A and B are shown apart, each in its own frame.
Chain A
């Protein structure tokens, strides 16, 4: 869940009123946000780096607000304020408009070299924008939030914003050999080749996370203007030449990526949020993007879509009885302008370009429920009549657990993941003989494999409890995992029972007795005859203590079994 940090006073000024922390927390809760923390820059620095470093830092109160992962329109102060003001019916949701320029339209031409690395690009212009320090910071911060979330750390989409007045179109989005790309990147004083930059950024705490996206490609993506000035080398860094400042009046925004849908959403979000500060509020100047196949498209899309939902469907899904007019009003409060049409039961809902999260009627139903107030919904019990059944394996497990404890054994609960060593070397077994499933991306050796036996977990439990008085009598009934090509995923669980007796003397007869007791409980008689059980020595395992382990599934089916570590 992304967290947006906003200055409290700035937020209240934009909301046109102040709130106590509790009131604002309540408002967030109702709207589906979470006021996660109230802090300040000073407090954050002092927490992370100590009081010394925090000296002189700003103590302006910051609200850290958790925003649902699909609400890209709430990732900045501008969007939050707009969402809350509309929710509280203090303003109407703005209508975002794409306009054609007076002069020539800005063009971005994609060459075919990009196809293999970053095939998509979209662009737009924010004309006559007025930045202040706070607006500028918010603009940069929004790009960062989008990069971290919908852009999947720039892998799917990367955003570049440029001072249009420092450039001259048309622009070219192409891909070149790294050694052939040379420019002065943001906040550097001289030119570097792309190869040099990739080396420099290896130690950059922020940028090093994005290098892998293009690092091993023969060609790197790059955008030039008509004079050969580098706008950006997506998804890594922009050029310094077209850097936006507080004085920038016209912003050229490009989004490049591997996911066309997301690139369009990201562009829509940025321009809808910041066109608020344009001379013609909420209007965005179009840009044209020419694809390698010659087709050209105009962006941003800023598409408004109409959906039709029946009022009774909303009522039926939420469990309320509101008139269609009221439902339309509720939806309008969620930035979904709605009106009742047709037979008086149909609601026509306009999905604005800011609400890419609305992809189905159920998303509309949810917004109606939020506006109605979740906690105002009447709780009822469904009339669903069902007979309960236990899963037979778990039922048997529950019965056995209690009788194991009644037999004086204490239940352990150990991890299903462990190291290869635990299930193989340490038991004198070769790993290839275990049929274990292997994990491809363990962060530590503790998570290399799923256990194929419960014994290592019990032994480790004993090792961690050596201070306890003897004897220790432990058991566990839980699942182990082995490869099995007859299953759809190629592996399956077995429910095992394992017990260990640990004392100064081996006490084989005690663990043997426990086995006899378990068999008695399961109504399996001793002896060679059909349906009975016998014990055989297992191969190759040294007898160092008394334990038994076996699959209770086999027992359940009445098969003859040989506990595999008695």
Chain B
């Protein structure tokens, strides 16, 4: 226990992380020879010294002095260092060569003997091409095209002045300011000069200046503890601006993290999970049992995936099927029915379920067969399939969340009360309800919530009381009402994690980095930045 006592945290050095990080270059030289020299020079100096000058004097890389400055800075008030940036002209590699050996045109001039030189031969010289045209325009040489064995180059003047070399030598000697602006820019255009910005430090004594700086310890070692030497050793402070090393770990998928939260909410509210592990469903359970007529547009090839194999359901509960058929075609249970010819073949057609309400229908049918009736609260979250046009927010498959309560005498007010509790747990408190149409619920209501980011009411779910034409053929008692609501899992997740394209969330094109980085899902916590992003 004592080893983990409060205060044994980052400050006391149990962990070395954050000490030797890349953001403190040169830290290893904190008390190296350069730092020592710097401190001694500084002691003797009047006012301060320039890091670049010191580097030149010591004959070391400027970076080495900078490293020493930084490590001394890290020790506190030993020194003060002011960053200065100065611009300076430097020779390029080619410029260096010219300063040493003369300009290309001068080299061309020198290679031409008094009796002249064949142009073809001259062009083969290393400086030939560049030097020839420059020497020509300087009128140092001329070409005689009428020579017997091809064009021949002759000197025009006896001697010349190599200004380019002279100017470059001036620059090399640190006297670039002696050149005219025009001369410098011409040399720069020829890529012989470049202007560089040099960052140097003007170093002066700090308030705690001392030439004897002791080495700082990066880590607390067992030896220091056992010998007690840690008491007298100075320790390097932590670098808190650097990022730590993330632990190796696996990650859960953000959509499924949200699914876990929704399951949790339902369980907290006393809802039992329905089995939904059957993606393949018959049209009967998916549509007919829900009193959705056989000509309903949702039963179109354009909206639903039908199966080629197995094309038809093998078994249907025929007693119940007959009651459903009668309700559709003739009515009953107080209903006019839809008055059309109901076909068993149509009900047998297998499909990929278009909603989990198919599973709810099966669950309610099972409930109806258990006598006496016992009230239930059910939920499910699982995949559903639509043969729809795909876009940034629609895929052919998505997850549907569904809640169902069956009891004697449930009202629309109860539905709204349950929805209020459910959405409060999601952190959504401003709700309002709009009349809507749904083939299997009546009354039906769409649930809207006020979106702070979008500054408008957005639809967050659909709900209603299941129609008696759906419940009574199952055999549920007449005074039992069933309230139900549904929403998609993807939409709240996209809002929660600020994702605009559903493909970035679901499917194999997901960006694993997004999975690695996604935060915990706390639906009832204050809305974070992603929600405002959504607004934009």
Residues of A within 8 A of B (CB): 1, 29, 31-32, 34, 68-71, 152, 156, 259, 261-262, 316-320, 359-363, 365-366, 369-370, 374-375, 377-391, 393-394, 398, 401-402, 404-417, 437-443, 446-447, 450, 457-458, 460-461, 463-465, 468, 472-473, 475, 479, 481, 483, 485, 487-493, 495
With both chains docked as a complex, state the minimum distance between the C-beta of B507 and any C-beta of chain A, in angstroms: 5
The answer to whether A404 and B277 touch across the interface, beta carbons within 8 angstroms, is: no
Give chain B residues whose Cβ lies under 8 Å from the Cβ of A483. Answer: 309-310
Give chain A residues whose Cβ lies under 8 Å from the Cβ of B465. Answer: 317, 362
With both chains docked as a complex, state the minimum distance between the C-beta of B299 and any C-beta of chain A, in angstroms: 10
With both chains docked as a complex, state the minimum distance between the C-beta of B443 and any C-beta of chain A, in angstroms: 4
Give chain A residues whose Cβ lies under 8 Å from the Cβ of B333. Answer: 360
Give chain B residues whose Cβ lies under 8 Å from the Cβ of A437. Answer: 280, 307, 309-310
Name B377's closest neighbour in chain A (CB-CB): A386
Name, among B269, B352, B442, the residue most crowded by chain A CB atoms within 10 Å (CB to CB).
B442
- Does chain A have a CB within 8 A of B338? yes
Can you give 8 A-B contacts (C-beta < 8 A)? A259-B295, A360-B335, A381-B414, A382-B418, A412-B253, A416-B397, A437-B310, A463-B508
Give chain B residues whose Cβ lies under 8 Å from the Cβ of A377. Answer: 412-413, 416
Total interface residues on B, CB under 8 Å, equals: 100
Query: Known: A374-B433, A447-B305, A473-B250. Is A489-B512 also a contact (CB below 8 A)?
Result: no
- Bound-state Cα–Cα, A226 to B271, Å: 68
Name B249's closest neighbour in chain A (CB-CB): A408
The answer to whether B375 and A386 touch across the interface, beta carbons within 8 angstroms, is: yes
Within 8 A of A (CB), among B364-421: 375-377, 383, 385, 387, 395-397, 405, 407, 409-414, 416-418, 420-421
The answer to whether B375 and A384 touch across the interface, beta carbons within 8 angstroms, is: yes
Taking A362-B443, A390-B273, A417-B396 as known contacts, 15 extra A-B pairs with beta carbons closer than 8 A to each other, sorted by chain A number, are: A68-B436, A152-B297, A359-B338, A360-B467, A369-B435, A380-B411, A382-B405, A405-B251, A411-B253, A412-B510, A412-B515, A413-B507, A415-B506, A416-B385, A468-B512
The answer to whether A410 and B313 touch across the interface, beta carbons within 8 angstroms, is: no
Give chain B residues whose Cβ lies under 8 Å from the Cβ of A438. Answer: 307-309
With both chains docked as a complex, state the minimum distance between the C-beta of A376 and any C-beta of chain B, in angstroms: 10
Give chain B residues whose Cβ lies under 8 Å from the Cβ of A152. Answer: 295, 297
Produce 1/0 per residue, B317-342, CB < 8 A to A.
00000000000000101111111100
- Does chain A have a CB within 8 A of B230? no
- Bound-state Cα–Cα, A291 to B421, Å: 58
The answer to whether A401 and B256 touch across the interface, beta carbons within 8 angstroms, is: yes
- Does chain A have a CB within 8 A of B316? yes
With both chains docked as a complex, state the minimum distance between the C-beta of A303 and any C-beta of chain B, in angstroms: 11
- Bound-state Cα–Cα, A495 to B275, Å: 12
With both chains docked as a complex, state the minimum distance between the C-beta of A307 and any C-beta of chain B, in angstroms: 9
The answer to whether A413 and B277 touch across the interface, beta carbons within 8 angstroms, is: no
Query: Known: A405-B251, A410-B516, A411-B515. Is A369-B443 also a contact (CB below 8 A)?
Result: yes
- Nearest 7 Cβ contacts at the A-B interface: A319-B413, A32-B435, A319-B411, A490-B310, A68-B437, A366-B443, A460-B508
- Bound-state Cα–Cα, A387 to B374, Å: 12
Give chain A residues whose Cβ lies under 8 Å from the Cβ of B148. Answer: none
Name A155's closest neighbour in chain B (CB-CB): B295
Give chain A residues whose Cβ lies under 8 Å from the Cβ of B93. Answer: none
- Bound-state Cα–Cα, A416 to B305, Å: 13
With both chains docked as a complex, state the minimum distance between the C-beta of B458 and any C-beta of chain A, in angstroms: 12
Give chain B residues whose Cβ lies under 8 Å from the Cβ of A388. Answer: 266-267, 269-273, 377
- Bound-state Cα–Cα, A565 to B265, Å: 36
Give chain A residues whose Cβ lies under 8 Å from the Cβ of B306. Answer: 439-441
- Bound-state Cα–Cα, A491 to B414, Å: 38
Name, among A29, A388, A438, the residue most crowded by chain B CB atoms within 10 Å (CB to CB).
A388
The answer to whether B309 and A411 touch across the interface, beta carbons within 8 angstroms, is: no
Give chain B residues whose Cβ lies under 8 Å from the Cβ of A461. Answer: 508, 510, 512
Query: Known: A369-B443, A411-B515. Is A31-B435 also a contact (CB below 8 A)?
Result: yes
- Bound-state Cα–Cα, A410 to B282, Å: 35
With both chains docked as a complex, state the minimum distance between the C-beta of A391 and any C-beta of chain B, in angstroms: 4
- Bound-state Cα–Cα, A32 to B464, Å: 14
- Does chain A have a CB within 8 A of B511? yes
- Bound-state Cα–Cα, A416 to B307, Å: 14
Name A71's closest neighbour in chain B (CB-CB): B437
Of A29, A261, A464, which is within 8 A of B434 by CB?
A: A29
Give chain B residues whose Cβ lies under 8 Å from the Cβ of A391. Answer: 273-276
With both chains docked as a complex, state the minimum distance between the C-beta of B438 and any C-beta of chain A, in angstroms: 9
Residues of B within 8 A of A (CB): 248-253, 255-256, 260, 263, 266-267, 269-282, 295, 297, 301, 305-316, 331, 333-340, 350, 352, 375-377, 383, 385, 387, 395-397, 405, 407, 409-414, 416-418, 420-421, 432-437, 442-445, 465, 467-469, 481, 483, 506-513, 515-516
- Bound-state Cα–Cα, A438 to B387, Å: 14
Name, among B276, B335, B396, B469, the residue most crowded by chain A CB atoms within 10 Å (CB to CB).
B396
Give chain B residues whose Cβ lies under 8 Å from the Cβ of A365. Answer: 442-443
With both chains docked as a complex, state the minimum distance between the C-beta of B275 and any C-beta of chain A, in angstroms: 5
- Bound-state Cα–Cα, A32 to B313, Å: 38
The answer to whether B434 and A34 touch across the interface, beta carbons within 8 angstroms, is: yes
Name A305's closest neighbour in chain B (CB-CB): B336
- Bound-state Cα–Cα, A447 to B506, Å: 15
- Bound-state Cα–Cα, A412 to B396, Å: 18
- Bound-state Cα–Cα, A29 to B450, Å: 14
The answer to whether A359 and B331 touch across the interface, beta carbons within 8 angstroms, is: yes
The answer to whether A69 and B310 touch across the interface, beta carbons within 8 angstroms, is: no
Of A366, A375, A379, which is within 8 A of B417 by CB?
A: A379
Give chain A residues whose Cβ lies under 8 Å from the Cβ of B314. Answer: 485, 487-490
- Bound-state Cα–Cα, A312 to B256, Å: 45
Name, among B266, B269, B280, B444, the residue most crowded by chain A CB atoms within 10 Å (CB to CB).
B280
Query: Known: A411-B256, A437-B310, A441-B306. Is A316-B512 also a contact (CB below 8 A)?
Result: no
Of A375, A409, A443, which is within 8 A of B387 by CB?
A: A443
With both chains docked as a complex, state the minimum distance between the C-beta of A147 and any C-beta of chain B, in angstroms: 13
The answer to whether A450 and B279 touch across the interface, beta carbons within 8 angstroms, is: yes
Of A70, A384, A411, A488, which is within 8 A of B252 by CB?
A: A411
The answer to whether A382 and B410 touch across the interface, beta carbons within 8 angstroms, is: yes
Name B280's closest neighbour in chain A (CB-CB): A491
With both chains docked as a complex, state the minimum distance between the C-beta of B133 and any C-beta of chain A, in angstroms: 49
Give chain A residues whose Cβ lies under 8 Å from the Cβ of B418. Answer: 381-382
With both chains docked as a complex, state the minimum distance between the C-beta of B523 and any C-beta of chain A, in angstroms: 17
The answer to whether A465 and B512 touch across the interface, beta carbons within 8 angstroms, is: yes
With both chains docked as a complex, state the minimum distance between the C-beta of B316 and any C-beta of chain A, in angstroms: 7
- Bound-state Cα–Cα, A318 to B414, Å: 9
Give chain B residues whose Cβ lies under 8 Å from the Cβ of A398. Answer: 260, 263
The answer to whether B508 and A380 touch across the interface, beta carbons within 8 angstroms, is: no
Query: Known: A374-B433, A384-B375, A388-B377. Is A440-B512 also a contact (CB below 8 A)?
Result: no
Of A71, A383, A457, A481, which is within 8 A of B280 by CB?
A: A481
Give chain A residues whose Cβ lies under 8 Å from the Cβ of B295. Answer: 152, 156, 259
Give chain A residues whose Cβ lies under 8 Å from the Cβ of B412. Answer: 317-319, 369, 374, 377
With both chains docked as a complex, state the minimum distance between the C-beta of B159 and any C-beta of chain A, in angstroms: 64
With both chains docked as a complex, state the minimum distance between the C-beta of B211 and any C-beta of chain A, in angstroms: 47
Give chain A residues whose Cβ lies under 8 Å from the Cβ of B352. Answer: 417, 439, 450
Name A414's closest neighbour in chain B (CB-CB): B508
- Bound-state Cα–Cα, A70 to B271, Å: 32
Query: Known: A261-B340, A377-B413, A468-B512. Is A405-B249 also a contact (CB below 8 A)?
Result: yes
With both chains docked as a complex, state the minimum distance between the C-beta of A417 and any C-beta of chain B, in angstroms: 6
Give chain B residues whose Cβ lies under 8 Å from the Cβ of A68. Answer: 435-437
Query: Known: A362-B443, A366-B435, A411-B252. Is A447-B413 also a contact (CB below 8 A)?
Result: no
The answer to whether A318 and B280 touch across the interface, beta carbons within 8 angstroms, is: no
Query: Known: A317-B411, A398-B263. Is A488-B282 also a contact (CB below 8 A)?
Result: yes
- Bound-state Cα–Cα, A29 to B434, Å: 6
